[in-house]
Amino acid sequence: MAECLLRRRGALSPSLASLSRIAVRLHPRRHSTSATAATAQPNDGIRSTHAYPATPSPEKASSTRWSALRSAKPFSEFLTDTFNRQHDYLRISVTERCNLRCLYCMPEEGIQLSPQPRLLTSPEIVYLSSLFVSQGVTKIRLTGGEPTVRKDIVPLMQSIGNLRRDGLRELCLTTNGISLHRKLDPMVEAGLTGINLSLDTLDPFQYQIMTRRKGLDAVLKSINRVLEMNRMGAGIKLKINCVVMRGINDREIVPFVEMGRDNPIEIRFIEYMPFDGNKWNEGKMFSYQEMLAVIREKYPSLEKMADHKNDTSKTYQVPGFQGRVGFITSMTHNFCGTCNRLRITCDGNLKVCLFGNSEVSLRDVVRKANNGEPIDEAVLEELQLLNTVQTAARASDNGDLVNPRERELLDIIGMAVKRKKAKHAGIGELENMKNRPMILIGGVSYAGQARFYHQHSTDAAEAHARSSTNADRKEKAEAESALPTASDPDLPHLTPSQNVHMTQISQKTVTPRQATATGRVYFSNSRPWDSLREGQGTHKGDVYSVARIAGIMAAKRTPDVVPLCHPGIGITGVEVDVKLLEPVAEGDEKMKYGAVSIKATVDCLGRTGVEMEAMTATMGAALTVYDMLKAVDKGMVIGGVQLEEKKGGKSGHWVREREIGH
Ligand code: SAM
Ligand code: SF4
């Protein structure tokens, strides 16, 4: 039915000759992007002369064996977060511009576009893509703004498509479909495997209201074209994204579902989400449960389908329909537990969560190689950037020293990934959080935001530096002066110009390191001792074991509470010992009623020590003891938390001279 509907609206058919040409070229590619063969079959026959230089030929020769090795090795530590989520899916925003003005996305007052030099160049996008693929990213989605309005989108896709030889399996696009039909053929030739096409209404007048532009016919033409190419064997996964807003397009839910009667399309209904400037309110949000009820009223047999592990949508099907129905329930049910996505904004910031406001600049690190200036094709070749990524990937796998540029980038990426939270905020919090407008989850930063700035991020400068070139230069200089240089040898968290920074550890060697810290919780009356001593009280076991667990958790969370501590240092073990100490009648006033003693030992295999982790573990355990006993003794004192011993690293073995007894 949908196809008839699309045809009725005047979509053009491509010539059969051109379709069969595409189909013939597509077949080998589909094989080459399948899980096992993707990396083994570089497809030179389809490479465009416009594409940026691909991985150089010596690597090419060994790419088959290399790819096989890659798939056998453990997933990159840099892309694995503290909840063991492995991020193999990268979304890259390639432009801030858009040819539509969707109500729910673009602030009504519009957005100010960034000066061109702030945005990633295509060679920079290819370089970063290559770096992420070298670490295990298998899926890249280009988005925006509207990616098809980027002038060199096709050559860019050809270059990224070339990364299939290094392990990329899927190259996808999210688009409003307005000009897709004009670029679709070369995109498919470049390796496009999936399209998410945004369409919120099938009514041309409503379309104009929702997008503030005309264009439904062009979108339908794009959909038709994809379906026709698929009938010729193109194998493009097509999903239609439909944001449902109450009172605006909720009555179109059933017509959208019916598009799937005769077409293998997945219609995904998205809960309306709040972003800066989109005037979200809960009343306008049409929830997943409500959408389900609307569909079930007409199609009570709607069935739940099995979802893939990393799917963000819950999938259903009306029996007998070719297509499926999905729901993206970002507002009512988060899918954070299996999130495998990272985002790069079009100004080159890495964003680990769509709803998080923390970002780190990768662009600034990449550009260091070119004195802070944008990297064009000539510089990319001159600096052999794609080559160095490959070399870095190999060195990292062999345990060799990775060269400083890639090492620094990987460290920054790793730190940001390790900071990713278990889940994003929910309704009640999200709408009050500062975030970019959706169209700029790809663009601008805002002043006054409570957000985390990594030392390399120039967001703080960018927040103000849009209009004045003087301000621009001044802030750029300030941002650059904050980049880490050397450390003060006595106070390594200060640069020689007294700026606070996180010390640079990329050149340090990875060695086993260990640190032990101790501390006590002194009682101020006899009740804690009475309830904890052997054979007395019912919660003794609980206090000890909960305190131990708290200590272990605290060690792992140290970088969250100690700002300049390095995250992701590769903790290999945490031992927390919690003991009851008897009261001492004379000579030690603090011990009059006894105490709990805590000893925490942390081991790691890394570039920096774990002293802070051991101390934090001790404090975490001590606070838990206090928390669990405060009902019987609010006067307890946590004291004597100190480092006892540290081993490993350049400064070697250190032991506290005076034993405090444990
Ligand atoms: N211009 C392209 C497009 O429209 O598909 C790509 C960028 S657009 C920002 C990416 C997706 O975000 C679209 O599917 C759009 O429907 C969705 N989106 C934007 N704002 C949204 C909001 N407030 N709530 C839910 N989804 C939103
Ligand atoms: Fe443009 Fe896509 Fe945003 Fe609509 S949703 S304004 S098409 S970027």
pLDDT value of position 72 = 54
Average confidence (pLDDT) over 531-538 = 64
Residue 454: per-residue pLDDT = 27
- Active site residue: 88, 376, 627, 633, which one? 627
pLDDT of residue 457 exceeding 60, the answer is: no
The pLDDT score that the predictor gives to residue 206 is 96
pLDDT bin (cut points 50, 70, 90) of residue 372 is: very high
Q: What confidence category does residue 439 fall into, taking pLDDT thresholds of 50, 70 and 90?
A: low
Q: Is the CB of 131 under 6 A from ligand 2?
A: no
pLDDT of 472? 38
In 3D, which of 299, 293, 250 has the Cα closest to residue 270? 250
Q: What are the tens digits of pLDDT across the range 472-501? A: 343 333 333 333 334 555 566 655 545 555
Q: How far apart are CA 136 and CA 431, in angstroms?
A: 34
Tokens for 587, please give them: 């000579």
93-102, 216-225, 513-522, 529-538: least confidently modelled range: 529-538
User: What integer is the mean pLDDT of 424-430?
Assistant: 54
pLDDT at res. 5: 40
Q: What one-letter code names the amino acid at 199?
A: L
Residue of higher predicted confidence among 23 and 599: 599
Q: Which residues line ligand 1 (CB under 6 A)?
A: 98, 104-105, 143-144, 146, 174-176, 198, 241, 243, 270, 272-273, 275, 278, 438-439
417 has a pLDDT exceeding 60: yes
d(CA 272, CA 282): 9
First-to-last C-alpha distance (Å) of the chain = 78
Angstrom distances, CA of residue 112 to CA of 25, 56, 151, 362: 41, 39, 19, 22
Confidence class for position 541, pLDDT limits 50, 70, 90: low
Q: For residue range 229-263, list pLDDT tens digits in order.
A: 999 999 999 999 999 999 999 999 999 999 999 99
Q: Whose CA is nearest to atom 3 of ligand 2?
A: 105
pLDDT of 204 over the 50 cut: yes
Q: Which of 33-37, 78-82, 124-128, 552-556 has the lowest mean pLDDT?
A: 33-37
How far is CA 334 from its chain centroid? Answer: 15
Reduced to 3 states (helix: H, G, I; strand: E, B; else coil), residue 544 is: helix
**The pLDDT value given to residue 489:** 55
Using CB atoms within 10 Å of the CB of residue 283, give its burial: 0 to 12 exposed, 13 to 18 middle, 19+ buried.
exposed
Q: Ligand 1: distance of its center to the CA of 110 in Å?
A: 15
pLDDT of residue 74: 74
Does 312 score more than 90 pLDDT? no
In this prediction, residues 13-26 reach a mean pLDDT of 36
Among 38-42, 346-350, 541-545, 592-596, whose mean pLDDT is lowest? 38-42
DSSP assignment of 12-59 equals PPPPHHHHHHHHHHHHHHHHHTSTTTGGG---GGG--TTSPP-S-HHH
Mutate-to-test residue for ligand 2 from 176, 222, 278, highest number of ligand atoms within 8 A of CB: 176
**Which of 561, 632, 652, 549 minimizes the C-alpha distance to 598?**
549
- Spacing, Cα 210 to ligand 1 middle (Å): 12
Count the Cβ atoms, other than its own, within 10 Å of residue 131.
26
Span 435-442, mean pLDDT?
52
Lowest mean pLDDT among 265-274, 321-330, 553-562: 553-562
Higher pLDDT, 19 or 339: 339
Establish whether 627 is a catalytic residue: yes
Q: What is the pLDDT of residues 170-191, one digit of tens each?
A: 999 999 999 999 999 999 999 9
- The finding on whether 148 has its CB within 6 A of some atom of ligand 2 is no
Contact residues for 262 (Cβ-Cβ < 8 A; gap 6+): 1, 2, 3, 322
- Which tens digits make up the pLDDT trace of 111-138? 889 999 999 999 999 999 999 999 999 9
**pLDDT at residue number 357:** 66
Average pLDDT, the chain: 79
pLDDT band (50, 70, 90) for residue 570: confident
Q: Does residue 439 have its Cβ closer than 6 Å to ligand 2?
A: yes
User: Per-residue pLDDT for 659 more than 70?
Assistant: no
Arithmetic mean of pLDDT, 344-348: 95
pLDDT above 50 for 49:
no
pLDDT score, position 491: 63
pLDDT of res. 46: 28
> Does the pLDDT of residue 519 top 70, yes or no?
yes
| Alpha-carbon span 177 to 263, nearest angstrom | 17
User: The tokens 């999200």 sit on which residue?
Assistant: 430
Tell me the CA–centroid distance for residue 242 and ligand 1, in Å: 9
Tokens of 464: 């103000």
User: Which range, 110-114, 478-482, 510-514, 643-647, has the best average confidence (pLDDT)?
Assistant: 643-647
Q: Cα-Cα-Cα-Cα dihedral of 388, 389, 395, 399, to 10°?
A: 140
Which amino acid residue places its CA nearest to atom 4 of ligand 1? 176
- How far apart, in whole angstroms, are the C-alpha atoms of residue 563 and residue 460? 18
Other Cβ atoms within 10 Å of 128 Cβ, number? 23
Residues 542-560, mean pLDDT to the nearest whole number: 90
d(CA 38, CA 32): 4
As a whole-number percent, the residues of the chain with pLDDT over 90 amount to 51
Supply 246's token pair. 């109450």
pLDDT confidence bin for 543, thresholds 50/70/90 = confident
Ligand 2 atom with the shortest distance to the CA of 438: 3
